[in-house]
Structure 1
């Protein structure tokens, strides 16, 4: 197990595009939930899971910074009791700009959190309101400056493009303001409309004016070009960083390695089994109280599935998939297993073979899903 993901499902405001497991913060058993996280980590250790090789811890949500400073402090205390934080390569948390107050920054810094991932999404005030965000562009800039003054130098922001009614001009302006912050890491995602979200319901009613496919492609192209000019290398389809500031935790996912998912609705991959935790808060907490891991779904990954995942996850990285590593990991050559598929994708200019690695071409980066699907049985 290389990483631990801890899910904090609480939010003060629900974003219109979000389909992650979340609940409104008010009137929820937040303190009890944090103690249940402690119990689940204990159960995982008792089940024989080795915590000594953990490289990363990541707080995600929901919104981890929806917690009070005192609650964050207790959560960090729990992590320190289970993990040798001094040996971690990375300790990260997601955060909302309007919730990351100075007292919370101090708690995170004292708790040895090293990396902040800020959900900025846009620097356009009108678009922020449209997508259900509660912060302003000014708050996003202020929190970056405050974090730096507190001693954080590994800061990332998330941006979303192809938003309802978003123009090329608005997107370029957001990139202008984002790049002016000169951060070491940026993530840029195209909006995906997921079921059971506000945007999904609006789309079904014909009330969601989304940019067309060509406009979306132009926005993605603008993102790549701007990052390249600023010296932020595209190391994964949606992620850009200066060398040494890549997200180590996310690389665990893309390298198809194992990690624990802790908390209500969290997903994990341990001992060759992908699993999902019980999502409803009360049911999750009640299950852990019975001294059982709160799994609602488990899938033992077959050798065929492992190879498929190795390809479609590994190809998300711009360095691609190592031919040598694939053979060592699975005991079969990449040529033998996927030679025909790879040759077809090369002909379509979706992948290329360079330096004994299979990776997406520039064209393939824009048509990644078309390439990934070819590796699925």
Structure 2
């Protein structure tokens, strides 16, 4: 395992569209959590082989609520127990409303070298709709502080398909974000997730995300404008300048092994056909297990050959690079079309085979959820 994911499950306030596991910072476990995470690292080091890590990702939640000294202590323990490669990519997700120049300088000194900023929009009315705590001005200020703190690998999140959002409004947002010159952009269409406040608002007909045809138009416009601006559309929702793709996420999409720690995190072993574990999203259970010296993970699934084939395509076809036919055949004893003739036929012409690789055209990404079902 070369990738480490650390789930930091605390937020100032949960956004109404988010279904990731988190609790508020008022939790009595907030102050103890860095020590719990270090205890988990030590327990894991005793029981399994992993590392040295080439990527580390602090996700959440809002990892930027941690103090720089806590982040430094966690990374020092990771390096001591498992090792960190010299050019390791170390990412921290951050909410602009939790930052200052001093905090960002502290994170940079602690070893964070890639910052993922949850801007979501640079328009105040859209930020209010999304329940974000920061303003557009604070988002711009956070980017400026990040540059002054020495971050030269900056990713910004942008959401589209928002209630009452027009295409010109979205493109104005895009231009505003481009003016900040981030190295990476993650662009997500708003989806109403089960169990969120947005789901309840939609049920009451009080929330109306963009219609499907408008969301499609927005997706295509993003693809074209960001491509013109020099960003490669390397995964369904992600764009990067050359050499700035998120190496950590590529581990997931390429079905390589990774270790996940923290409540709500998952781990994957690529030995055999693969196996996955999860840590239940319950911070009290997590704390009890670690205090008692018990592994908080539970086994989720062990794959057979057919399941591994399906997940290889499910993940790999998210990337523009797609799935290498020769590697797939060497791994599974069949080519993609041989293993899934009906699915390949149904996916045409959106599924392309070229230069020994299978990949979705842009139209295939627009229909991804529908087309990929044929392979599962």
TM-score (norm 2): 0.95
Counterparts of 1:256 and 1:120, CA distance in 2: 29
Does structure 2 conserve the Cα–Cα contact (< 8 Å) formed by 1:237 and 1:317?
Answer: yes
Higher mean C-alpha displacement, 287-296 vs 131-140:
287-296
Report how many aligned residue pairs link the two structures. 373
Counterparts of 1:356 and 1:69, CA distance in 2: 46
* Residue-by-residue CA offset, 1:137-174 (whole Å, 9 max, x unaligned): 11111111111111111000011111122222221111
Counterparts of 2:360 and 2:303, CA distance in 1: 25
* Residue-by-residue CA offset, 1:104-142 (whole Å, 9 max, x unaligned): 212221122110010000111011011110111111111
Alpha carbons of structure 1 residues 210 and 335: separation in structure 2 relative to 1, 3 Å: closer
Does structure 1 conserve the Cα–Cα contact (< 8 Å) formed by 2:160 and 2:189?
Answer: yes
Give SS of 1:151's match.
Answer: coil
Does structure 1 conserve the Cα–Cα contact (< 8 Å) formed by 2:95 and 2:118?
Answer: yes
Q: Which residue of 2 aligns with 1:323?
A: 325
Q: Which residue of 1 aligns with 2:161?
A: 162
Does structure 1 conserve the Cα–Cα contact (< 8 Å) formed by 2:50 and 2:82?
Answer: no
Cα RMSD (Å) of the superposition? 1.5
Counterparts of 2:102 and 2:195, CA distance in 1: 35
Q: 5 Å matches for 1:142-221?
A: 142-221=141-220
Higher mean C-alpha displacement, 234-243 vs 360-369:
360-369
Counterparts of 2:313 and 2:67, CA distance in 1: 41
Q: Which residue of 2 aligns with 1:355?
A: 355
Counterparts of 1:120 and 1:229, CA distance in 2: 22
Does structure 1 conserve the Cα–Cα contact (< 8 Å) formed by 2:258 and 2:268?
Answer: yes
Q: Which residue of 2 aligns with 1:116?
A: 115
Higher mean C-alpha displacement, 309-318 vs 323-332:
323-332
Counterparts of 1:155 and 1:19, CA distance in 2: 24
Shift of residue 341 of structure 1?
A: 2.2
Counterparts of 1:146 and 1:111, CA distance in 2: 16
Q: Which residue of 2 aligns with 1:129?
A: 128
Shift of residue 13 of structure 1?
A: 1.7
Q: Is the counterpart of residue 251 in structure 1 residue 250 in structure 2?
A: yes
Give SS of 1:163's match.
Answer: coil
Give SS of 1:231's match.
Answer: coil
Does structure 2 conserve the Cα–Cα contact (< 8 Å) formed by 1:352 and 1:359?
Answer: yes
Counterparts of 2:195 and 2:70, CA distance in 1: 29
Counterparts of 2:342 and 2:158, CA distance in 1: 37
Q: Which residue of 2 aligns with 1:76?
A: 75
Q: Is the counterpart of residue 22 in structure 1 residue 22 in structure 2?
A: yes
Q: Which residue of 2 aligns with 1:300?
A: 302
Counterparts of 2:265 and 2:183, CA distance in 1: 28
Alpha carbons of structure 1 residues 27 and 291: separation in structure 2 relative to 1, 3 Å: closer
Give SS of 1:278's match.
Answer: coil
Give SS of 1:359's match.
Answer: strand
Shift of residue 332 of structure 1?
A: 2.6
Does structure 1 conserve the Cα–Cα contact (< 8 Å) formed by 2:45 and 2:82?
Answer: no
Does structure 2 conserve the Cα–Cα contact (< 8 Å) formed by 1:69 and 1:103?
Answer: no
Counterparts of 1:251 and 1:222, CA distance in 2: 24
Give SS of 1:157's match.
Answer: strand
